Amino acid sequence: MILVTSAAGHTGAIMVNALVKAGYDVVATDINPAVANLPGIKQALVGDLTQLDFQRQLVASADQIVYIPPLFSAEEALIGESLVDLSVAAHLKQFIFISVTHPILTTLLQHTAKRDVEEHLIYQGMTSQLPYTILQPMHYMHNFDPQLVHNTGKYQIFYNVDSKVAYVDPDDVAEVVVKVAGNIGQHDKATYELVGTKAYSPNELVTQYNALTGEHAVTQYVDVETFLASIHAQDLFFRTGFKHLADTYSQWGLDGNANVLHMLLGRQPTTFEDYLKNRLKK
């Protein structure tokens, strides 16, 4: 039995679907009750990862964990470290941590929290021999929604429209998760950076979209305060983390190398153009 946390989110649902299709018995958990609607799962557990008793229930439900951290949680590092400790105590067969590319970047709150969990997992892995694998995905392609761009004629973004960020298809990451879960020994103690594309600016993404569709969409910068107001974000940590994200991407962008993902997939990673084609078919 394999547990997937944050399973009702976009990435979590894709990973659950891939594991179910691969024949795994999946326990899906999220604070969102919609997690119970995921097709093919054996069990849904609804609860708050910040609660120790709920974490104990989760660890007792499975012998492998795919830990996807909650988005912009002030307690993210504590949640992850506690799940690692409980997994050690329960002698779990495997702990797969969905981290982020370049967790050492101190200008990003959600990166530094994952860095702390990675460190804790590595120490625990060395002292307890908990089998683990750390996956470090790049910025997900689903953050560009071609249907929304089609409906509105614009791609609204909260960082500099000329800053370049690399991407990865969440389906490619899910494919790696299935491979790692199916061969614990081969991937034990490994850390894999999962980058799918070279870095593209928002303007370049829209250019690719227009070339494919024949449309005339435009890129539109939206300052981060306006963006946060549009999604009714009130949590202070979430707001601060998002501002750090906007500032970091505007100043430096974010990129990496696709060689590791190519090796793990045994093929070229999904291109942004192919991602668009796949999404526009749906």
In the three-class reduction of DSSP (H, G, I as helix; E, B as strand; rest coil), residue 192 is classed as: strand
pLDDT tens digits for range 95-112? 999 999 999 999 999 899
pLDDT at 212 > cutoff 70 = yes
CATH number at residue 86: 3.40.50.720
Q: Please check whether residue 73 lies inside any domain of the structure.
A: yes
Q: What is the mean pLDDT of residues 40-68?
A: 98
Q: Does residue 222 lie in a domain region?
A: no
| Domain assignment of residue 69, given as a range | 2-141+168-194
Cα dihedral sign, 181-182-186-192: negative
* Per-residue model confidence (pLDDT) at position 280: 87
| Angstrom distance (rounded) from CA 200 to CA 202 | 7
Name, in order, each residue with C-beta under 8 angstroms of 114's C-beta and a sequence gap of 6 or more.
69, 76, 77, 80, 97, 99, 100, 103
Which of 46-55, 119-128, 230-239, 255-264 has the lowest average pLDDT?
A: 230-239
249 within domain boundaries = no
Q: Is residue 27 part of a domain?
A: yes
pLDDT higher than 80, residue 282:
no
Answer yes or no: is 271 within a domain. no
pLDDT at 277 > cutoff 80: yes
Domain count, the chain: 1
